[in-house]
Chain A
Amino acid sequence: MGYLRKAMLTVASEVAWRLPGWPARFVTSFADSERASGIDMLAAAEHTERGDLRRKYFLHALDESKHAALFLSRAMALGGNKERARAALDDSGTLQRHGTVEGRSMFERLGEMEFLAFVWVAEADAVEQFGVYLERQLPDPETHATLQAILKDEHFHVSYSRQELDRFRKQGQVAEVEWSLFRVRRDRWLGAWLRFSREFGVIVSGLWLGLAYAAMLGPFRGLAALEPGGWRPPLPRPACSLATARSQA
């Protein structure tokens, strides 16, 4: 890991883990990431054409599910999410995010080599990230123990993915492997930038929408009324035909 990245992570962790309520948030986000990763690994197990890798992806998926459960249990012990709706979602075990985009899983989008590169980079980053937390004894002994238990599996994930990439290299695909690694690292940085961009955009556009709300809806409040209860006659609709069926309104 770059020393700069490690330094930034150390400083950020020392501050963030000590904020009230943040340990539970972090650990919940770890649980979400592990769940999402489990889905991606299962999809890889479905789609790979290599039988030996199918087993490895499958076992990796089981590990991710186990880690997600460990993290979620730890998050609950740390107080869980204070916001009711979010806490109820966590309790239901419903997944919030994953790597499928427009019906294509991460494996389908990246292909075998780049997917393995992604796995190696992501798992190695996780090992290093958890390593910083363990070094700093963050946030508490119980979470420390959870991280240590999970790290054992993460080392295996790093190991098998690196071995597979080495296999590609031995087959003469050195340049392709390096290019895949470059693309993965680049896309992780770009992904982080896009996430920031989206969050920032939500805030700024929220301000504009708030202004629109006040200026455009407020003055007409008197003209709008909630529908009363009880039976109402059906809204008028044109006769059923192909032309009217094409309408979105």
Chain B
Amino acid sequence: MASHVLGISALFHDSAAVLLRDGVVVAAAQEERFSRVKHDAALPVQAARWCLAQGGISPADLDCLVFYEKPLRKFERILATATATFPRSWQSFPRAMHAWLGDKLWTHRALARLFSVRPDRILFSEHHLSHAASAFLCSPHATAAVLVADGVGEWATTSLWRGRADPPFLEPVAEVRFPHSLGLFYSAITAYLGFAVNEGEYKVMGMAGWGKPRFREQMAQLLRLEADGAFSVDLDYFCWHWHATESFTARLPAMLGPPRVPGSPFDPASDPESQRFADVAASAQAALEDAMLHLAGHAHRALGERALCLAGGVALNAVANHRLAAEGPFEHLWIQPASGDAGAALGAALWAWHAVLGNPRLPEIRAWCLGRRFAPAAVEAQLLELGARFERLDDPVARAAADLASGKVIGWFEGRGEWGPRALGNRSILADPRGAQTRDRVNLRVKLREQFRPFAPAVTEAAAAHWFDIPAPAEAPARAMLVAPPVRAERREEIAATTHVDGTARVQVVNPADSPTFHRLVEAFGGCTGTPVLLNTSFNLKGDPIASTPIDAMAAFYRSGLDLLYMEGCRVERPR
């Protein structure tokens, strides 16, 4: 009889549920794709319900449900920190206690009630252990160094693990503790630059490309690289550990200049203030990269492994990942696509299966489309009910390639939804990358987002080396858009819409085995145009999660400036 383990992450941001059957992922989804609330932190009831339905089981059939962290240790950290920062924490303390005393402290009961699982079948992993497991236990490496860097878990903000070939597979080596945190440092800069925390970090990464790291010295003071191979943060400049709403003190603007007003225009070409913000972003990005290299160097010296598995929210920083791959000491780099808190649900489940229940390792997970899919007949029925103008095609790939080559911007909704924050060709907005005007059009008229933000290219695996300088260690993460290598100099003008101002691109290398339909589409476009590269951005508008159902896709289509929508073989046109 099969064994089923359900992993759950929730209550901070990016809740998710993952179902394993005999250690193999049957279904994985983030709650936001169901609730339509971006970064939804609520317990993932809908995602879990769907996962169980996918597995054809009921909650009573679960061997265990695994929550991704130890809530009581987190509570301890919050209380200890509030005491250590008395009396400055007087505003944040009641807020935190409202959340914990009313809700988060009783997670065990909530899990039992909402997921209908007996309390003795509920397990609790640790936050960083879940992250570490989510990277190492999915990777092809029998042994590896595992580095986790995020905002904070229970106490650890950065942790180093030895990935072993035998149970319990992950051995803790060292950790950096709260309030010293790379993730929170980057989030504080995100807030300084006027973006929402846990949402705007990508925007800082994009803004950095427009700047020069002229605040490097200041950043070195803010984020000190220690002789022991780790780091510390100058807490005089930051207050995430005691303030209710702010993450930086008045000393930071005194050092770097006034913070950016949220929503204010960004035009570095003509506005000196915009250039300053870009330079702050570039400097913070460089500081983060230096810190990651410093940590990786220590990990390599301490553990002597050839492979590095990376996890935690900081591992979503594709620019830093590229630098790790290009300049770091490891021969192999492996990152799980949902390396933020959503991915910890996968890690918690894998940890329970392998470490707790003592099962052997399984092969690498390569295909990351683990979400919902919709039958063509059901999609067609809904399109008819919505009164959409559409036609069913025998060969949607060929027609879509032709539409793209003629300059159309299309929504592409095929197969199972992606796991993680990146669209990998199943829930994507696609366009012809040739011509910088495409970028502006997609930013302003389709996705309704800031103009400075770059778009990512998707390239066939066979053509990748001709267009991008991807270092060997980055080959695996490049399949999931987790590195940002340089575009080859002679190709930059050719795919101007997906070449960032600094000459890099957060590329997706499309493998025919992992993504057959999308690979055919990119290839077909290459056949039409000679350029086997597509602009690939996630199928969502500003503030929304990625479209998950045909109704979501139609809503995004109608609200945006997309020309066409391709959905499970149907070509949908805009209403007259």
Do A and B touch (CB < 8 Å)? yes
- Nearest Cβ on chain B to A172's Cβ, whole angstroms: 26
CB within 8 Å of B: which A21-49 residues? 39, 42-43, 45-46
Tell me if A224 and B386 are in contact (CB < 8 A).
no
Could you say which residues of chain B place their CB within 8 Å of the CB of A100?
35, 37, 42
Q: What 0/1 pattern do residues 70 to 109 of B give for CB contact below 8 A with A?
A: 1111001001111111110110011001100000000110
Answer whether residue A135 sits at the interface, using C-beta atoms and an 8 A cutoff. no
Cα(A51)–Cα(B387), bound, Å: 10
- Stretch of B191-199, B314-322, B520-528 that contacts chain A: B191-199
Instruction: Tell me whether A246 and B386 are in contact in the complex, defined as CB-CB below 8 angstroms, given that A46-B549, A213-B90, A227-B177 are known contacts.
Output: no
How many residues of A sit at the interface, in one of the four size bands?
Answer: 35 or more
CB within 8 Å of B: which A196-249 residues? 202, 205-206, 209-210, 213-214, 217-218, 220-221, 223-235, 237, 240-242, 245-249
Answer whether residue A174 sits at the interface, using C-beta atoms and an 8 A cutoff. no
- Chain B residues with CB under 8 Å of chain A are 34-39, 42-46, 49, 66, 70-73, 76, 79-87, 89-90, 93-94, 97-98, 107-108, 114, 120, 122-126, 155, 159-160, 167-168, 172-180, 191, 194-197, 199-200, 224, 226, 228-233, 235, 241, 245-246, 259, 261-263, 298, 352, 355-357, 381-382, 384-387, 542-544, 549, 551-552, 554-555, 558-559
Tell me if A92 and B94 are in contact (CB < 8 A).
no
Q: List 8 A-B contacts (CB under 8 A).
A: A42-B551, A92-B196, A209-B98, A227-B177, A231-B174, A231-B226, A235-B175, A248-B70
Tell me if B98 and A205 are in contact (CB < 8 A).
yes
Cα(A80)–Cα(B261), bound, Å: 11
- Stretch of A54-62, A109-117, A160-168, A178-186 that contacts chain B: A54-62
Tell me if A221 and B554 are in contact (CB < 8 A).
no
Tell me if B558 and A62 are in contact (CB < 8 A).
yes
Tell me if A94 and B543 are in contact (CB < 8 A).
yes
Cα(A42)–Cα(B230), bound, Å: 47
Could you say which residues of chain B place their CB within 8 Å of the CB of A230?
176, 180, 226, 228, 230-232
- Chain A residues with CB under 8 Å of chain B are 39, 42-43, 45-46, 51-52, 54-55, 58, 61-62, 65-66, 76, 80, 83-85, 87-95, 98, 100, 102-104, 202, 205-206, 209-210, 213-214, 217-218, 220-221, 223-235, 237, 240-242, 245-249
Choose from A43, A84, A225, A229 the contact partner of B259 (Cβ within 8 Å).
A84
Choose from B35, B39, B70 the contact partner of A94 (Cβ within 8 Å).
B39
Known: A54-B382, A230-B180. 7 other contacts (CB 8 A): A61-B555, A76-B263, A94-B543, A104-B45, A230-B231, A234-B174, A240-B168
Cα(A138)–Cα(B46), bound, Å: 42
Tell me if B245 and A92 are in contact (CB < 8 A).
no
Cα(A220)–Cα(B298), bound, Å: 37
Tell me if A85 and B94 are in contact (CB < 8 A).
no
Tell me if B114 and A227 are in contact (CB < 8 A).
no
- Nearest Cβ on chain A to B110's Cβ, whole angstroms: 9
Name the residue among A224, A227, A228 with the largest chain B CB count within 10 angstroms. A227
Tell me if B83 and A217 are in contact (CB < 8 A).
yes
Cα(A210)–Cα(B263), bound, Å: 35
Could you say which residues of chain A place their CB within 8 Å of the CB of B45?
102-104
Tell me if A94 and B199 are in contact (CB < 8 A).
yes
Tell me if A103 and B86 are in contact (CB < 8 A).
no
- Nearest Cβ on chain B to A101's Cβ, whole angstroms: 9
Could you say which residues of chain A place their CB within 8 Å of the CB of B196?
85, 88-89, 91-92, 94
Tell me if A245 and B37 are in contact (CB < 8 A).
no
Tell me if A229 and B83 are in contact (CB < 8 A).
no
Could you say which residues of chain A place their CB within 8 Å of the CB of B552?
42
Choose from A43, A95, A104, A206 the contact partner of B94 (Cβ within 8 Å).
A206
Instruction: Tell me whether A55 and B385 are in contact in the complex, defined as CB-CB below 8 angstroms, given that A88-B191, A226-B81, A245-B123 are known contacts.
Output: yes
| The 7 nearest A-B residue pairs measured at CB | A229-B232, A93-B543, A103-B45, A234-B172, A51-B385, A227-B177, A224-B84
- Nearest Cβ on chain B to A180's Cβ, whole angstroms: 24
Tell me if B174 and A226 are in contact (CB < 8 A).
no
Tell me if B71 and A224 are in contact (CB < 8 A).
no
Please name the residue on chain A nearest to B46 by beta carbon: A103
Cα(A221)–Cα(B87), bound, Å: 9
Could you say which residues of chain B place their CB within 8 Å of the CB of A229?
176, 180, 224, 226, 230-233
Instruction: Tell me whether A247 and B382 are in contact in the complex, defined as CB-CB below 8 angstroms, given that A92-B543, A103-B45 are known contacts.
Output: no
Name the residue among A62, A205, A224, A247 with the largest chain B CB count within 10 angstroms. A224
